[in-house]
Amino acid sequence: MLVLSRRCGIGPDIRVVVLGVKSGQVRLGIEAPPVVAVHREEVYVRIQEENRLAAKTHVVPIDALRRLIPAKSKIAS
């Protein structure tokens, strides 16, 4: 038996639909507005990992930064 439940507060605009039952498997569809991301758990975990990696900042020593920026030339007066 397959039993599904939804958490309170998800919203009335999200629907879980049984698309079919075949060979002991149940196909489900999830209808949600485009602003609601719907992912399988393993995909969601991967997205979160990628976001954490992207959010890490790398510290660049100021001397290395100065070497990348050309020195201003002095204007002859």
Instruction: Work out the end-to-end distance of the chain between its first and last CA atoms, rounded to an integer number of angstroms.
Output: 88
Among 1-5, 46-50, 61-65, which is the least confidently predicted range? 1-5
**Percent of the chain scored above 70 by pLDDT?**
83
Q: What does the CA dihedral 38, 41, 45, 47 come to, rounded to 10 degrees?
A: -30
DSSP 8-state class, residue 74: P
User: Would you say 39 and 17 are in contact if contact means Cβ atoms under 8 Å apart?
Assistant: no
When pLDDT is averaged across residues 18-26 and rounded to a whole number, the result is: 89
Residue 18 has pLDDT above 60, yes or no: yes
**75 vs 20, 66, 72, CA distance in Å?**
78, 20, 9
Query: The whole model's pTM is what?
Result: 0.48
Computed over every residue of the chain, the mean pLDDT equals 82
- The residue type found at 10 is I
- Domain coordinates of the chain in residue numbers? 15-68
